[in-house]
Each structure stands twice: as C-alpha cells, then as structure tokens.
Amino acid sequence: MSRSGAVRALLRNSWRQLTSMRTALILLFCLAVAAIPGSLLPQRDVNIENVNAYFQDNPRLAPVLDRLGMFDVFAAPWFAAIYLLLFTSLVGCIVPRLRDHVRALRAAPPAAPRRLDRLPQHASWTGTGDITAIAAQLRRRRWRVTVTGDTVNAEKGHLKETGNLVFHLSLVAVLCGVALGSWYGWHGNRLLVAGPETAFCNTVQQYDEYGLGPRVADTDLPRFCLELTDFTATFLETGQPDSYTAEVRVDEGGGTPRDATFSVNSPLRLADANVYLLGHGYVPVLRYTDRYGQAQTVTAPFLAVDDMITSEGVASFPDANVDPASGERDPDLQVAFEGLFLPTAPAQAPYIRSTHPELRDPALMLWAYRGNLGLDAGIPGSVYRIDQSQVEAGRLLPVGDPQLLRVGETMTLDDGTSIEFLDITQYVTLSVRHDPGSGLLLASSVLLLAGLMPSLFVRRRRVWFRVTPAAPGDGSTTTGSSVIEAGGLPRTDHPGFGDEFRELVRAVGGAGPPREGTQ
C-alpha cells in the first residue's frame, strides 16, 4: 500500500472510531467527570471571594490547581477539547443513523418468512379469516401494515429509534447552547454597599471581577444601574440562614427608575441580564479625625470568615494628616485600622468569634497602624488586608493596643487622633449574568427527556398473518373456512411481547382459540 493510501486508511479508521457510539459514550463520561471539579471547587466566574479564600486556606495546593484550570473549569482548554470531540463524535454518529432511520420509516414492513412456525411466537387456527379485516384491526392498534397476496405484514416500535435520535440530537443542541452562551455570554461580580452613593452601573470598570465571551465587546453590555436600598436577612437560632431578600432601585435608562425585590432563589430579571444574590455581609462606618482636626469617613466592607459572619476588613486613610497650611501630605503619617467585626459579640473575652450572624450586640475590634501603607507604589493589593510587607519592613507600625468598640464609641490614639464607630450598614454580593444559550438549553433538555422515554420503553417488534383456504380434512365444518397462521418476532428482548401477541391473536381470531397455542 502506498503512503497516501495508508494515510487515507488511518484517517478513515480514526473517523470510524471517533464517530462510534462507544466513543461518544466514553467522551460523555469524560465530560461528566471533567465537570466534577467545577462543582467541588469555587469558580472565578461564580464567586471570586471563595476562590481567594481557597488560596488563603491552601497556599500550596491552590496554585497547582490554578495552573490546571480547576478554578475556571468550563473555560479550560482541556474541557473545551473534550467538549469539541464529543460534539464531533455525536454529529458523526447521528447523521448515518438518521439517514438509515428515514429509509426504514419510508420502507414497507418486511415480507413474511416462509415458515411462520419457526418464529419465537406462533399460533394458527381455522376460521373465516379476512385479510382486509386483519389489516384494519392491526391499523387500529397503530401497527404499520402492508398486504401482499394472502399475507399481512406489520411492524411497530420505530418510535424507539426516533426517541433515540431525538435524545442524541438534544445532546448536540445542549452543546450548541453551551457554546452560544460561551461565545456571546458575559458575567460580572460586584460587592454592592447599601446607599445611593455606592450605586453601580453596568460597565466592566465597575465590576470587581468580570468575564466577556469572545464575541462580546465592552460596549455591548446593556445599560442599567442598581442601587441597594435595603437588605433583610433572617437566621435560625442555630445561625443557619433562613432567607435573604434584597431591595434595589433599578434604572434601565429612558424611563423612571423602579423598585424591585429579589432573593437567592428568585433572581432579578432585566431585559438582557439576570442579577443573582450570592451572599451578604456588614459594613462598619468609621470616621477618623487626624492631628489637624480634619475628619474623613469611610464605609469599609468586611468579609465574612465563618458561618456566624465574623468578618475581617481594613479601613484605610491614605490622605490623613495633610498639613492644611502647606497642603503637603506626609506618606509616613498614613493611617489604617485592621478590624474584626462581630455581629453578636460574646458576653466576655476573648472577642474572636461572633455567636450569631444577626446584629444582636455588634462590636468592632480595631488594630491601629501608622506609616506608609504602600499604596503609592502602584502595586495591586487587597483592600481587605494590611500590606504585611510594609509591616515587616518597618514602614508601617502598629500603634497602641487593640480596642473593642460598639456603635457610638471612639478610640483615641497616642497622637490625639481618633477613630469613631458611627454606624453599620450592609452589602450584598451580586452576580450579573447574560446567557443567550439558556433558552436553547431549556428546550433541548425537555426534548432530551422526551426522547429518552421511548428509547427506554418502546420495543421493535413484527407480526405476520397468513390466510390460506382450509384443505379437506383440516377439521373445519364451515364452508369457506381458512387456516389463519400468525407469527411474531421481537427485534430485541421484550418480556411482554408474548402477552401482546396473544392479545393480537384473540383480536384477529375472535372467539376461536388458537389451535396450536403460543410457543
């Protein structure tokens, strides 16, 4: 064989292997296994906060998993490779089967074998049989029927293959829906603090984390703005969340802003996006008065570290202690406060963990730092933690002892400056998503289930009835009697086919019992 012939043979055999049903099932199993990490591990496109927390809890394992794409499973190249191979295998497998099925539907039922008594189901009797009446009886029972001479040919159960094809076509449609959502979908996560001054609009610059499909540009995002007006959380006595309800004001442009309410299991549905409520937390409101008497107020979101919403955060004042006479800022006099917020503080020390997630006895433990916060270096850093490299280098120093504050109380530092705990507000974490393939996914999922039922429960089977004039000595006492012979053949193992065949014999033969019984 020439080299070109060997290459063609290799490609032909590879294509046959890829488009076989066995390969499709293996790839489908691999896709299901590959999706498991996306359910067990936090994903960046769902909740970046959980991913960051996983990195903190597993500093050695998390980078290895990140290089393998385990925090972006459904966007990983290896997942896309399995996905595309499965798509190709299904299409290559379905097209020939669809062609053969259409031919089978258009073809007449096969002719009867010469010896019906050799079939798995067989009966014969003498009576006044009529070919036309037998065919009509079978048609009423939804058999496909043809009459050839003295024989009725009938078959039933093509719905099994139809359902099978619908099931596999639905799988292809599911893959198309996923691809459509991946190409033209987008998502963004946002931590939204209550109040009009912290409202956000749907632009990529205002998201904490976002992802756009390859066919989506920044300017393609729909225009709307959200303001968190209120949030209500209820908890059981054990601290388990009972319900989260967010109230927002929505401005979609071109009209009067409207109020809307949504919850964890009931997202806010806008024209071209859905807003999902992922969680919530608390925001201490702090006012710092520097050595020149100038006051600055910050609302600092604190991130929960346990189920009781014990929260950690930082309130930074990089523009504190600016000399009002010269307008100069000393970068070594910047101030920050690292805090531990307790929605329900314990009755006595140590104050390290809240006893309930509701605001029953809120308290804030603060640690003060003075020096250079390192914000002027232009190096990205977390807004929820003090830069420990600055502390280790001695450029940011702790000031005094930590102090527990309740709302309205003040902490005074050694230089006369003070920090006041003014109030507590709340924030919610939102996921804004647009998936144009969701409608196709829903429809294909319904069709998948609809196709699965007949493919599991319908069975292919064939029956034949042959009517021949009764010969003298056949035992018949009626003039014009005929010998009616019936045979049945299930295409697959079908335990109920014997009962169905006997019912057909009774329906066709009337009150006359079969002479030879069912074999």
Q: Tell me the pLDDT tens digit for each residue of 271-291.
A: 889 999 998 999 999 999 999
SS (H, E, C) 445-488: HHHHHHHHHHHHHCCCEEEEEEEEECCCCCCCCCCCCEEEEEEE
Pairing of strands 311-317, 334-342: antiparallel
- Judge if 467 and 380 occupy the same domain: no
Residue 453 in any domain: the answer is: no
Q: Two tokens at 469?
A: 């004039």
Q: Is the pLDDT of residue 156 over 50?
A: yes
Mean pLDDT of 204-224: 90
**Strand-pair partners of 147:** 152
CATH code, domain carrying 133: 3.30.310.80
- Judge if 287 and 423 occupy the same domain: yes
User: Which residue segment(s) compose the domain that 285 sits in?
Assistant: 281-429
Cis check for the bond before 472: say yes or no (omega within 30 of 0). Answer: no
- Judge if 255 and 391 occupy the same domain: no
Residue 519 in any domain: the answer is: no
- Judge if 311 and 355 occupy the same domain: yes
Q: What is the pLDDT of residues 20-35, one digit of tens each?
A: 878 988 998 998 999 9
- Judge if 113 and 52 occupy the same domain: no
Contact 427, 194 (CB under 8 A): yes
Task: Point out the domain boundary residue: 416, 446, 476.
Answer: 446
Higher pLDDT, 326 or 314: 314
Mean pLDDT of 315-334: 86
Q: What is the pLDDT of residues 93-114, one digit of tens each?
A: 899 999 999 999 999 999 999 9
pLDDT of 377 reads 67
Dihedral sign of CA atoms 129, 133, 138, 140 in order: negative
Residue 517 in any domain: the answer is: no
How many structural domains does the chain have?
4
Mean pLDDT of 432-460: 92
- Alpha carbons 447 and 396: distance in angstroms, whole number: 63
Residue 174 in any domain: the answer is: no
pLDDT of 480 reads 62
pLDDT of 233 reads 92
Q: Is the pLDDT of residue 5 over 90?
A: no
pLDDT of 476 reads 52
Residue 2 in any domain: the answer is: no
* Angstrom distances, CA of residue 483 to CA of 128, 131, 449: 8, 12, 46
- Judge if 346 and 373 occupy the same domain: yes
- Judge if 303 and 347 occupy the same domain: yes
Mean pLDDT of 318-326: 85
- Judge if 398 and 316 occupy the same domain: yes
Tell whether pTM > 0.85: no
Contact 294, 324 (CB under 8 A): yes
* Angstrom distances, CA of residue 248 to CA of 207, 317, 324, 434: 17, 30, 40, 19
Q: How many other C-beta atoms are found inside a 10 Å radius of the C-beta of residue 467?
A: 20
- Alpha carbons 55 and 61: distance in angstroms, whole number: 8
CB-facing half-sphere around the CA of 28: CA atoms within 13 A? 14
The helix or strand, by DSSP H or E, that contains position 122, with its residue range, turns out to be strand 121-127
Q: What is the pLDDT of residues 379-426, one digit of tens each?
A: 666 788 888 888 988 889 999 899 999 999 999 999 899 999 999 999
**4, 5, 10, 16: CA torsion to nearest 10:** 130
- Judge if 81 and 216 occupy the same domain: no
Q: How confident is the model at residue 512 (pLDDT cuts 50, 70, 90)?
A: very low
Residue 515 in any domain: the answer is: no
pLDDT of 385 reads 86
For the chain, give percent helix, strand, coil, nearest 5.
35, 30, 35
Q: Is the pLDDT of residue 514 over 50?
A: no
Mean pLDDT of 245-260: 90
Q: Is the pLDDT of residue 226 over 90?
A: yes
Nearest Cα neighbor of 123 from 473, 497, 502 is: 502
- Alpha carbons 390 and 441: distance in angstroms, whole number: 51
Q: How many other C-beta atoms are found inside a 10 Å radius of the C-beta of residue 500?
A: 18
Contact 240, 214 (CB under 8 A): no
Q: Is the pLDDT of residue 511 over 50?
A: no
Task: Point out the domain boundary residue: 57, 74, 100.
Answer: 100
The helix or strand, by DSSP H or E, that contains position 158, with its residue range, turns out to be helix 158-184
- Alpha carbons 53 and 39: distance in angstroms, whole number: 16
Mean pLDDT of 30-46: 87
Q: Is the pLDDT of residue 213 over 50?
A: yes
Q: Two tokens at 382?
A: 């977390």
Angle of CA points 386, 389, 394, to nearest 5°: 100
- Judge if 134 and 274 occupy the same domain: no
> 69, exposed or middle or buried, with CB in 10 Å at 0-12, 13-18, 19+?
middle
Task: Point out the domain boundary residue: 100, 117, 135.
Answer: 100
Angle of CA points 476, 481, 484, to nearest 5°: 95
Residue 135 in any domain: the answer is: yes
- Judge if 41 and 122 occupy the same domain: no
Q: What is the pLDDT of residues 457-502, one digit of tens each?
A: 889 999 999 998 876 655 555 556 788 999 999 987 778 898 999 9
* Angstrom distances, CA of residue 174 to CA of 3, 90, 452: 40, 12, 15
Q: Is the pLDDT of residue 127 over 50?
A: yes
Long-range contacts of 422-425 (CB under 8 A, 24+ apart): 422/285, 422/286, 422/287, 422/297, 423/284, 423/285, 424/282, 424/283, 424/284, 424/285, 424/359, 424/362, 425/193, 425/194, 425/195, 425/282, 425/283, 425/285, 425/299
Nearest Cα neighbor of 288 from 319, 312, 317 is: 317
Residue 177 in any domain: the answer is: no
- Judge if 203 and 300 occupy the same domain: no
- Mean pLDDT for the chain? 88
CB-facing half-sphere around the CA of 91: CA atoms within 13 A? 11
Q: How confident is the model at residue 246 (pLDDT cuts 50, 70, 90)?
A: very high
| Region for residue 309 given its phi and psi (left: phi exceeds 0; alpha: psi -120 to 50; beta: otherwise) | left
Q: Is the pLDDT of residue 518 over 70?
A: no
Q: Is the pLDDT of residue 15 over 90?
A: no
pLDDT of 463 reads 95
Contact 274, 250 (CB under 8 A): no
